[in-house]
Amino acid sequence: MKSLVERLWSFLCSMRRGAVPLVAAALLCSAPAAHAEDAPGERLQVADPYIELHTGPGRGYPVFFVAPRKEWIVIELRHTDWYRVHTEGGKVGWVSRQQLETTLTEAGGTKNFRDVALDDYLHRRLQLGVAWGRFGGEPMLKVWSSYRLSDTLTAEATLGQVQGVFSGTDLWHVNLMAEPWSDQRLSPFFAVGVGRFRNIPNASLVGAQPTDAKLANASVGLRYYLTERFIVRTDYSIYTAFVGDTRSIEYRAGTIGLSFFF
C-alpha cells in the first residue's frame, strides 16, 4: 500500500492540467508578508551584552552584525517571531522576539510584546491544508489552498483524488466559504462551489468509458485552532456531477484534515 506522501505526490502529478493553475495562483499570492508593528519606529535600547542581527527572518540566516549594550535600535517590520530593525549606525537586520524582549524602552521599562501566535491567527490570510476521508464510500485524499477575503468570507481551491475499487476519480473545485465566527477558536463554516469531475474506470472493465463532467458542491464543517499556526478541520459535502443534459450523479463525502496558515 502506498504511503500518504506517495499517494499525495501521485495525485498532484496526475491531476488535470486545468486544475493546477487554480492552486498555483493561490500559492503565488501566498507569500507571507511582513507586518508593521503596533508602534512602527519605536526605539529600544539593548540591555544584554549584545543582540544579533540576521540577514533574514530566521535562525538559518547568518548573523552579520552584533549590536552592543546601550545601542539604540528602531523596529521597522515584523515577520512571525522576527523583527526587522535598524541601528543608529544604519545597520538593517532581523532580530528574534526572544532577544527583543530583553531590550528597554525609552521610558526605561522592559519591552512587552503581544501574543504573536494569537495576533497572527486573528489576522491570518492564506491557508494550505491536506485531508483524508470518504467520497461515495471510497477513500479520498484532497489538498486545498484558501485566501481570506474578509473577516467572514474565504475563497478556496481544492484538488481531490478518490481511489475506488473499480475506478479512480480526479476532481477540482473552487469554493466561496462563509465563517460567521472566524475569530473564535472553534468555528463552523459553510461553503458552495463549482468545478470539474473525471471518473476513470479500471482498464480491466470491458466497455467502461471515462466520465468527464461539471461539478457543483455544498459543504458544512467545523474548524478548530490547535496551536501556533495549525488548524484542524472536518467537513461534510454533497457533490453533484452533471454527466448529461438531463442526468446527474450525487456523491456524499466527509473528510478530516490539518491546515497551516500564514
CA atoms within 13 A on the CB side of 3: 3
**Which sequence spans correspond to the domains of the chain?**
4-30+125-261, 43-120
The backbone torsions φ and ψ at residue 88, rounded to the nearest 5 degrees and listed phi first, read: -60, -30
CB 169 within 8 A of CB 161: yes
Q: How far is CA 126 from the centre of its chain?
A: 5
CATH of the domain spanning 4-30+125-261: 2.40.160.20
Q: Determine the Cα–Cα distance for residues 7 and 14; give it in Å rounded to an integer.
A: 10
Q: Please give the residue that has the higher pLDDT: either 123 or 25.
A: 123
Whether 4-30+125-261 shares its CATH topology with 43-120 is answered no
| Full DSSP string of 36-100 | --SSTT-EEE--SSEEEEESSSSTTSPEEEEEETT-EEEEEEEETTEEEEEETT--EEEEEHHHH
Q: Report pLDDT digits (tens) over 4-24.
A: 445 545 554 554 444 444 444
**C-beta atoms surrounding 253 within 10 Å:** 23
Asked if residue 178 lies in contact with residue 148, where contact means CB atoms within 8 angstroms, the answer is no
The CATH number of 43-120 is which of 3.40.80.10, 2.60.40.2470, 2.30.30.40, 2.40.110.20?
A: 2.30.30.40
Between 203 and 193, the higher pLDDT residue: 193
pLDDT tens digits for range 95-139: 998 898 889 988 888 777 666 667 778 888 999 999 999 998 899
Q: What is the pLDDT of residues 178-196, one digit of tens each?
A: 999 998 999 999 999 999 9
Q: What is the pLDDT of residue 128?
A: 96
Q: Is pLDDT larger for residue 1 or for residue 209?
A: 209
- pLDDT band at 27, cuts 50/70/90? very low
**Among the ranges given (37-41, 69-73, 133-137), the one the predictor scored with the smallest mean pLDDT:** 37-41
Strand partners of residue 254: 134, 236
What residues form DSSP beta bridges with 168? 163, 200
215 confidence band (pLDDT: 50, 70, 90): very high
Better-scored residue on pLDDT, 208 or 181? 181
Predicted pLDDT of residue 24: 41
Mean pLDDT of 223-231: 89
Q: State the Cα–Cα distance between residues 123 and 33, nearest whole angstrom.
A: 11
Which residues, other chains included, contact 92 with Cβ-Cβ below 8 Å and sequence gap of 6+?
53, 76, 84, 85, 86
pTM value surpassing 0.75:
no
Q: Which of 44-58, 87-101, 186-200, 203-217 has the lowest mean pLDDT?
A: 203-217
Give DSSP secondary structure letters for 156-180.
EEEEEEEE-SSEEEEEEEEEEEE-T
- What is residue 246's predicted lDDT score, i.e. its pLDDT? 83
Check residue 98 and give its pLDDT: 87
Q: What pLDDT sits at residue 117?
A: 63
On whether the CB atoms of residues 196 and 22 are closer than 8 A, the answer is no
**Average pLDDT along the chain:** 83
The pLDDT confidence band at residue 40, using thresholds 50, 70 and 90, is low
Q: Give the angle subtended at the CA of 125 by the CAs of 218 and 18, to the nearest 5°.
A: 55
Strand order, beta sheet including 50-54: 43-45, 72-79, 82-87, 92-96, 50-54, 63-68
What is the arithmetic mean of pLDDT over 146-154? 95
pLDDT band at 29; cut points 50, 70, 90: very low
